[in-house]
Structure 1
Amino acid sequence: MVFEYILKKNGIDPQKDLTIDQSIDFGSTAAAFTGDDSAAYTVEFEPSATILEKEGAGYVVASLGEASGYVPYTSYSAKSSYMKENPEIIQKFTDALQKGMDYVQSHTPEEIAEVIAPQFKETDLETITAIVKRYYDQDTWKENLIFEKDSFELLQDILEDAGELTDRTAYENLVQTEYAQKACES
């Protein structure tokens, strides 16, 4: 959806100006790309994009994250009743996430890669470092966890454009930022 939104934003009609093959299992797109000489581009998440580059089988030519604007790919949801009954748990969880955000802002890609490497046993440290450096250079990580209204509206624009959203929701009715704001202050 983000890819098609970016294409349209740049005057390219995904249905008329090119062919997008969405029949390939997401985990197999890199292999399909390298095995198909008719495919000029592929959309990849990491580590596939960096591995294609390392193998000389492709090049990262653009970042969907940079081209789209800040799309909140990760968010956390909880029932209002749970939040009301457990505010200390919600705050501690949010504080821990903010601590991770603070770490990323204050350390080098090499240091970050060393810390996260145990979570990615199937990927070598050199590849993890290259990925983190790419994200670092693109300024992928926000400084805080606050889900901004502009990002919420962009997400709804993308969903609406894709035909997945028929009724928009007011930011104030769905998003609560008090825990993230408090985490930033501590």
Structure 2
Amino acid sequence: MNVRTLCLSVLYEGESTGYEIRRQCVEGECSYFIEASFGSIYPALAKLEEDKLVTSRTEQQDGKPAKKIYSITEAGREEFAQQLAQPLGNDMFRSPFLLFARFAHILPRELVEARANEFLQERVDKLKHLEEATAKRSCNAADDWVINYGRAIMALAEQHMRTHMHELITLARAEAAKDAAE
């Protein structure tokens, strides 16, 4: 998957601005698919428009700059379906927390405990967000499947943290031991 395909996926559901597409990629439902920055979204939209896969119109706003609203064309819908039919590649999972956890043994116990609790709370919050997303919008069966997959991943991560967080904290060094060594 690439940013062009991601843009087409958002536009497949309805009109959108580049800003709204970025918001979907950062905090919305597309945030679980691939990363996309403003620096990649706007060039992708320009190329999609050049290729006649999307169209745009400018809408004036009171007291604000005009905004450009994009719509997918029939050719864009066909291209999106063709892109989905291509080999998907490997899922990418990145976690700054797992890098932190990998080196918990060199960090102060209080810091490891604080970060572990933050990570746990983020899982709880993301699970709640998925629950709210389901309640706020009408979902088709495919949406439900994807959301339920996300729920399962977040619930498992939450359960793992609740069950094993103490092990990670135990790996961390105690501050007293550090002071004694000095």
Q: Which has the larger radius of gyration?
A: 2
Q: TM-score, normalised on structure 1?
A: 0.36
Structure with greater proportional helix content: 2
TM-score, length basis structure 2? 0.36
Structure with the bigger RCO (C-alpha within 8 Å, sep 6+) is 1
More strand by share: 2
